[in-house]
Amino acid sequence: MADRSLLIVEDDKAFLERLSRAMEARGFSVTSCDNVPEGLAQIERHPPAFAVVDLRLGDGNGLDVVGALQAKRPDARAIVLTGYGNIATAVTAVKLGAVDYLAKPADADDVVAALLAIGRDKSELPQNPMSADRVRWEHIQRIYEMCDRNVSETARRLNMHRRTLQRILAKRAPR
């Protein structure tokens, strides 16, 4: 792509500045913002060719930004960064148009490789399968995404107390 415009939406300001500088050094024209409304406004003004979006932002969900970008510019390549990785949100991100899903901390080389990758070979089978706790957590995350991130509906479908579900969702994924 000749257009190397890049939108970065990240609420960790230090990481946002580091990643912005690193991507500019790699030839991208970077626009950065730290919240969902500003990211959506940037997409409306000038939809970029590339985007790097944090999944959990202080004021919303980064998947909303990915969806808006794909609606405005279907050829754009977006990746999702997160410290809360799980299969359900990865699947949702890909369905919304993200080309990759990277766990934090990701360095600029990983981000560039994900943004510019055309095709990939089959990945290898994992050496260590998921623990039972991780499988349970993944299942809860999948149902949560299916319920459009509605905690009350998810708790009802899983037959668990809403506050218990909220505590589970607030924690990081088990290993």
Mean pLDDT in each 10-residue stretch from start to end of the chain (175 residues)? 86 88 92 92 93 87 91 92 76 85 81 78 53 82 89 94 92 78
Tokens coding 64: 């909303």
User: Does 143 reside within a domain?
Assistant: yes
Predicted confidence at residue 122, as pLDDT, reads 41
- Together in a domain, 72 and 141: no
User: Does 127 reside within a domain?
Assistant: no
> Rounded to an integer, what distance in angstroms lies between the CA atom of residue 26 and that of residue 151?
41
The domain tally of the chain equals 2
Predicted confidence at residue 97, as pLDDT, reads 85
16: CATH: 3.40.50.2300
User: Does 102 reside within a domain?
Assistant: yes
Closest CA to 20 of 55, 59, 50: 50
Predicted confidence at residue 85, as pLDDT, reads 66
Closest CA to 80 of 71, 72, 70: 70
> Rounded to an integer, what distance in angstroms lies between the CA atom of residue 65 and that of residue 73?
12
Q: How far apart are the first and last CA of the chain?
A: 38
Closest CA to 49 of 114, 5, 96, 115: 5
Predicted confidence at residue 28, as pLDDT, reads 93
- Together in a domain, 106 and 160: no
Predicted confidence at residue 120, as pLDDT, reads 53
Predicted confidence at residue 7, as pLDDT, reads 94
Predicted confidence at residue 56, as pLDDT, reads 84
User: Does 122 reside within a domain?
Assistant: no
Predicted confidence at residue 1, as pLDDT, reads 53
- Together in a domain, 80 and 161: no
Predicted confidence at residue 30, as pLDDT, reads 93
User: Does 126 reside within a domain?
Assistant: no
Tokens coding 45: 């003004």
Query: Domain of 64?
Result: 5-116
Predicted confidence at residue 21, as pLDDT, reads 92
> Rounded to 5 degrees, what angle do the CA atoms 61, 71, 170 make?
10
Give 123's DSSP letter.
P
